[in-house]
């Protein structure tokens, strides 16, 4: 009976007195690194493939490189301190946790391409995928979709889409016998010079199509001479295999562009819209025009600088007020647009000017008559510019009719002022 009553105590003592296994010999399962929540091993198990940008990262037997990649490229995927954002167990149990699309799934690739297309079409920065509002929108639209990182869009999605579109365009150009080229040089905000080359062609369905072949820096970035330009242009055309199909090159009236076409032995056609704009710019330099144009710019500039005066101007107009437009030499027809807006709102301009301190004098009746004459004079030039500024129809055939119509309208204008007649 004694042994029966003390058996429980005896068994506890026996178990507790058993020697513990040696800590060095004890097999313990190591915790799996959180890096593998964001990477997949390749078949050779030498690299980890990033789930977000697809970049292979060498493991070197540890996950240091993988974690460095996450911290520097996909920091938003980690919490502060580098700990992974693991789903709450309870939330997962009750179904609140969302399972995201696999990175190689058809749905994920489709949505990634749509985001890339939105960025390209709307000229948005890659960083828009990190904006809280956009992330909330996409989460509401499809909770299972995880937005790609900016580096994934830049390094994976964009090159893939570019190659796809390039191959599609190349297959079309392979069946085209004749193309026209428009090209121009321009300078970026970073003060870097670029040349953009656009190709125009007619399909078998008799529809006019246009496609930008390239926007790139000149082969020699330190020189924009007539030797460097044709070499760069020829390089672009050779890349697309259309150098022998070019029947005409349209550029502005710059002498270097004319020389470039001569060296390439391509027929050159000066841009008609640019030529019309040069005529208008010459008109703006006339002494009879310069005085009134200077006053127009001064009045508009005053309202742009004075928030109080601008508020008075808009308040005087009541509902749906108009803004004033400033003339810019590099923007075609901007002087005409400025004068039209001044004439339309001159009554409210006068009310705002007479009640504002330090304001320029309002337009006199004589000045308004001159502005009306100038507006009537510039109107046909704008119509002509709009007629030839199109990429939906062939415009070469309408150049002569447009110029004849422009000449006819100018000759039939009846000016009310002496300055209007001189202009």
Q: Produce one character per residue of 288-301: b if its CB has 16 or more CB atoms within 10 Å, e if not.
A: bbeebbebbeebbe
When pLDDT is averaged across residues 335-346 and rounded to a whole number, the result is 94
Retrieve residue 49's tokens: 């493939």
pLDDT at residue 26, as a whole number: 45
Confidence of residue 414 (pLDDT cuts 50, 70, 90): confident
pLDDT at residue 290, as a whole number: 85
pLDDT at residue 178, as a whole number: 94
What backbone torsions phi and psi does residue 185 show, to the nearest 5 degrees? -95, 145
Q: What value does the mean pLDDT of the chain take? A: 83
356-359: long-range contacts, CB 8 A cutoff, minimum separation 24: 356/302, 356/306, 356/308, 356/309, 356/312, 359/302, 359/306, 359/309
**Burial (Cβ within 10 Å: 0-12, 13-18, ≥19) of residue 275:** middle
Q: CB–CB of 149/53 below 8 Å?
A: yes
Instruction: Name residues whose C-beta falls within 8 Å of residue 226's C-beta, 6 or more positions apart in sequence.
Output: 255, 256, 259, 260, 263
pLDDT at residue 53, as a whole number: 77
The CA distance from 298 to 284, in Å, is: 15
> 178-211, pLDDT tens digit by residue?
999 999 988 888 888 889 999 999 998 888 899 9
> 367-381, pLDDT tens digit by residue?
999 999 999 999 999
pLDDT at residue 158, as a whole number: 92
pLDDT at residue 78, as a whole number: 66
pLDDT at residue 2, as a whole number: 45
What backbone torsions phi and psi does residue 193 show, to the nearest 5 degrees? -85, 135
pLDDT at residue 83, as a whole number: 45
Strands (E), 109-245: 179-187, 193-202, 208-216
The CA distance from 98 to 91, in Å, is: 9
pTM: predicted TM-score of the whole model, two decimal places: 0.66
- On the question of pLDDT at 167 being above 90, the answer is yes
pLDDT at residue 257, as a whole number: 87
β-pairing, 246-251 vs 193-202, is unpaired
């Amino acid at each position: 009976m004694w042994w029966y009553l003390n058996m429980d105590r005896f068994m506890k003592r026996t178990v507790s007195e058993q020697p513990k296994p040696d800590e060095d010999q004890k097999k313990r399962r190591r915790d799996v690194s959180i890096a593998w929540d964001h990477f997949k091993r390749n078949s050779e198990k030498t690299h980890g493939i990033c789930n977000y940008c697809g970049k292979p990262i060498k493991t070197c037997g540890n996950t240091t490189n993988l974690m460095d990649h996450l911290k520097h490229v996909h920091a938003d995927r980690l919490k502060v301190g580098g700990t992974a954002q693991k789903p709450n167990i309870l939330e997962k149990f009750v179904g609140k946790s969302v399972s995201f699309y696999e990175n190689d799934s058809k749905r994920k690739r489709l949505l990634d391409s749509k985001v890339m297309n939105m960025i390209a079409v709307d000229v948005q920065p890659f960083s828009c995928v990190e904006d809280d509002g956009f992330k909330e929108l996409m989460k509401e639209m499809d909770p299972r979709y995880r937005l790609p990182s900016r580096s994934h869009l830049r390094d994976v999605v964009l090159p893939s889409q570019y190659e796809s579109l390039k191959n599609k365009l190349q297959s079309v150009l392979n069946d085209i016998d004749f193309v026209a080229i428009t090209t121009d040089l321009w300078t970026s905000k970073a003060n870097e010079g670029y040349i953009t080359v656009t190709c125009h062609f007619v399909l078998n369905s008799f529809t006019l199509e246009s496609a930008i072949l390239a926007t790139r820096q000149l082969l020699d970035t330190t020189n924009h001479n007539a030797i460097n330009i044709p070499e760069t242009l020829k390089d672009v055309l050779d890349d697309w295999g259309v150098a022998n199909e070019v029947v005409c090159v349209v550029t502005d009236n710059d002498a270097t562009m004319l020389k470039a076409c001569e060296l390439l032995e391509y027929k050159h056609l000066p841009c008609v819209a640019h030529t019309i704009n040069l005529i208008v710019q010459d008109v703006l330099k006339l002494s009879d025009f310069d005085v009134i144009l200077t006053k127009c710019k001064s009045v508009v500039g005053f309202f742009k600088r004075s928030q109080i005066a601008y508020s008075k101007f808009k308040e005087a107009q009541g509902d749906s007020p108009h803004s004033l437009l400033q003339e810019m030499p590099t923007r075609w027809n901007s002087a005409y647009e400025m004068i039209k807006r001044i004439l339309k709102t001159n009554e409210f301009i006068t009310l705002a000017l007479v009640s504002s301190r330090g304001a320029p004098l309002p337009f006199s009746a004589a000045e308004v008559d001159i502005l009306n004459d100038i507006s009537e004079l510039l109107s046909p030039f704008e119509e002509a510019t709009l007629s030839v500024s199109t990429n939906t129809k062939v415009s070469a055939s309408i150049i002569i009719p447009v110029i004849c119509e422009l000449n006819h309208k100018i000759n039939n204008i009846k000016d009310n002022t002496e300055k209007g007649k001189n202009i």
